Amino acid sequence: MRLLYIHSYCSLVWNHMACYRIRRYGRTAAVQGDLIVDKTVNAHELNMNTADSHDSDRSLCADETCGVGRDHVRCASDHDEGKYLLKDVVLPLPGYSVQYPENEVGEK
């Protein structure tokens, strides 16, 4: 029962991060410092790498970003602005040794 409160609080923090990200930078494209899924890895390879550990999660996901491993995510640079859409932006759940966005969203 105690873990339910911890997971709920992490979800609340994530929701606040997502709302702040949209209010601050809009819904159109990734900006410098956002965490993005690196598109140089094709969707089939991405799904094969995450198939063992995220089978139950993958059935709930509508796109290829579900269950993305840390090695497929990077921070967007100023050269990436306009190349990636909002659907390519990912936000981590709060935790220990987690990579956060390198813009104002990560600071909040």
pLDDT tens across 2-51, in order? 899 999 999 999 999 999 999 998 888 888 888 888 767 555 444 544 44
Which conformational region is residue 104 in: left (phi greater than 0), alpha (psi within -120 to 50 degrees), or beta?
alpha
* pLDDT classification of 94: cutoffs 50, 70, 90: confident
Residues 71, 51: Cα–Cα separation, whole Å? 15
Residues 65, 68: Cα–Cα separation, whole Å? 5
pTM of the predicted structure, to 2 decimals = 0.66
At 44, the amino acid letter reads H
Residues 29, 47: Cα–Cα separation, whole Å? 24
**How many CB atoms sit inside 10 A of residue 46's CB?**
20
What mean pLDDT comes out for the span 43-72? 51
Inform me whether the pLDDT recorded for 57 exceeds 60: no
Task: Give me the percent of the chain exceeding a pLDDT of 90.
Answer: 19
**DSSP one-letter string for 73-104:** EEE--GGGTTTSBGGGB--PPS-TT----SSH
Domain parsing of the chain, residue ranges: 2-107
For residues 48 and 54, the answer to whether their CB atoms sit within 8 Å is: no
What mean pLDDT comes out for the span 73-80? 82
